[in-house]
């Protein structure tokens, strides 16, 4: 059976077990087992993964901008192990909560350096 990973996975939304949007599949990371067979190890999401996949001037620009919004460049993609995938349909649905995944580096930087400095940003709404 032939599987077309790019068609099945790339650019699909990633949704956690509670239905919250985690991101999009920007790239796929492979590993090789002990017998030399490749397998899908992780889904990659974030500006770094998308920029590297796009290649060229636009890809470098995307990664360069993202590097300015992290404390320790170069920006790294968020890696979601394939073992966390529950099902793939119109979206990639995870069996984990978004809070249990590594935080996106650019989002974390923006939260620490911009959003948290807004008066009242830490108060719950309601």
How many other C-beta atoms are found inside a 10 Å radius of the C-beta of residue 52? 16
User: Residue 124 has what pLDDT?
Assistant: 55
Note whether 12 and 25 are within 8 A (CB). yes
Q: Which two tokens stand for residue 51?
A: 């920029």
54-99 residue pLDDT tens? 878 998 988 888 888 888 888 889 999 999 999 999 999 999 999 8
Residue 1, pLDDT > 50, answer no
User: Residue 2 has what pLDDT?
Assistant: 53
**pTM for this predicted structure:** 0.79
Superfamily the domain 5-117 falls into = PRC-barrel domain (2.30.30.240)
């Amino acid at each position: 059976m032939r599987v077309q990973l790019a068609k099945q996975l790339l650019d699909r939304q990633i949704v956690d077990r509670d239905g919250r949007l985690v991101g999009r599949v920007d790239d796929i990371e492979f590993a090789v087992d002990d017998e030399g067979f490749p397998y899908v190890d992780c889904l990659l999401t974030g500006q770094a993964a998308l920029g590297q996949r796009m290649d060229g001037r636009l890809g470098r620009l995307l990664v360069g901008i993202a590097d300015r919004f992290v404390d320790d460049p170069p920006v790294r993609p968020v890696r979601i192990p394939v073992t966390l995938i529950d099902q793939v349909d119109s979206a990639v649905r995870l069996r984990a909560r978004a809070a249990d995944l590594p935080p996106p580096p650019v989002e974390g930087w923006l939260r620490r350096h911009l959003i948290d400095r807004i008066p009242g940003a830490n108060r719950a709404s309601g």
